[in-house]
Amino acid sequence: MEVTATEPDKPKIKHDWYQTDALVVVTILLKNAPGDKVKVQYGERSLSVSSIIPNSDSEYSLELSLAHEIIPEMCMHVVSPSKIEVKLRKKEGLRWSLLEGEEQEASVKAIPQAVIDASGPPTQQLPKIYKKDWDKIEKDISKMDDEEPKGEAALNALFQKIYGEGSDEVRRAMNKSFMESGGTVLSTNWADVAAKKVTAQPPDGLEFKKWDS
């Protein structure tokens, strides 16, 4: 009895598509496709994708006759561990209802050209560009200036920052100098104030007096 060898079934690989105002994106669910073995060819009304299938002697091939025209030089593809993604740039501002074949004219909806132009060519990742609201920035700066402490409040805030971030010696020096001088001296140098009593140093034109005097 003669036995005829049969070829193993090729893995079934699905593909899907979606669209934006300017692009048609075809997604091929081929995992771990070797990037250097993926070949993509674009025609004005056609798409051809081929790739070696990992862990297999088979080759994947996808041939599409597109429903509408694309701009081949503005198309691209991206290979990731989970899929192959092909981005097709639409030639006309139309909403596709089919990926392949001929669409009925009544089912085709136009997209405003301004929207298409704003979309630009497909890219991997485009940085977001935000328009600066200079009026808001100016108001925020003014608000910050109003909220920032001034005069004695600013000085107290500075002392609190130094005390909070300083070492134990800095804190001891500040406490000793402030207490012994009656609040007229504030030193952060422990080596300078440790061995002697800190005397009061009132501002020029003022005389220091104790509460009980």
DSSP E strand boundaries for the chain? 15-19, 23-28, 39-43, 46-52, 59-65, 76-80, 83-89, 94-95, 109-110
Residue 17, number of CB atoms within 10 A of its CB? 16
Domains observed in the chain: 15-96+108-119 (2.60.40.790), 152-213 (no CATH)
Residue 70 has what DSSP assignment?
A: B
Could you tell me the strand order of the sheet in which 59-65 lies? Answer: 39-43, 46-52, 59-65
Tokens 């088979």 map to which residue? Answer: 58
Q: How far is CA 23 from CA 18, 46, 96, 113, 118, in A?
A: 9, 15, 10, 13, 12
Give pLDDT tens digits for 186-213.
777 777 777 778 777 666 555 555 545 4
Per-residue pLDDT of the chain (213 residues; tens, 9 = 90+): 454 555 556 678 999 999 999 999 999 999 999 999 999 999 999 999 999 999 888 899 999 999 999 999 999 999 999 999 999 999 998 899 999 988 765 455 555 555 555 555 555 444 444 454 556 666 666 666 555 555 566 666 766 777 777 777 877 888 877 777 776 777 777 777 777 787 776 665 555 555 454
Contacts with 98 (C-beta within 8 Å, 6 or more apart), sequence order: 67
Cα separation of the two ends of the chain: 128
Which residues share a beta bridge with 85? 27, 78
pTM above 0.75, yes or no: no
